[in-house]
Amino acid sequence: MRLSTCINCKQGFSGRLGQLFCSTSCRVSSWQKSNEGGGNVYALRDRRTGEIRYVGQTAGTVKDRLESHRKGRLNPPLAEWLASSEVDTVILESLTSWGELHRHETFWIRRMRKAGHRLFNQTGIPKVPRWNRVKPFRV
């Protein structure tokens, strides 16, 4: 257990490494807030080379999302790169519809890969790590 700060209510709490919320109600509240409006599609750029290394989306702040990337639970190679590099964040698009975030993020990932950027995104369809895919239910 370690002392953390809830990304929803900003209160301190004692929790597991990488735990983002102090309670289930804060997690649900954060999810509800994120579904009310839009968000940003952003890129993480290596300050030394100018190369885009990651494209993501967030309904919250990019700063909060970057902090969760630094914890490295879902994408350890990205977390290692963030720890060893100087990184700039670039807002690629600001959207007013939450439902459009995933589609626009996928567009930008494909566009950056076509341009030759070596992205840390794990697949062309973001946020679905290979080791965490749900297999279809069959009767």
DSSP-assigned letters across all residues of 58-97: ESS-HHHHHHHHHH-SS-HHHHHHHHHS-EEEEEEEEES-
Q: What is the average pLDDT across 12-29?
A: 68
Secondary structure of residue 3 in the 3-state scheme: strand
Question: Looking at the predicted structure, is the pLDDT value of residue 4 above 80?
Answer: no
pLDDT digits (tens, 9 = 90+) for 110-135: 999 999 999 999 765 444 444 444 44
* Residues composing the chain: 139
pLDDT above 90 covers a percentage of the chain that reads 31
pLDDT digits (tens, 9 = 90+) for 78-98: 999 999 889 999 999 998 877
Question: What would be the CATH architecture of the domain defined by 38-126?
Answer: 3-Layer(aba) Sandwich (3.40)
pLDDT digits (tens, 9 = 90+) for 51-82: 999 999 988 888 888 888 888 778 888 999 99
Note the pTM of the prediction, 2 decimals. 0.63
CB atoms within 10 A of CB 7: 19
Where in the chain do CATH 3.40.1440.10 domains reside? 38-126
Q: What is the pLDDT of residue 47?
A: 93
Please measure the distance between the N-terminal and C-terminal CA atoms of the chain and give it in whole angstroms. Answer: 41
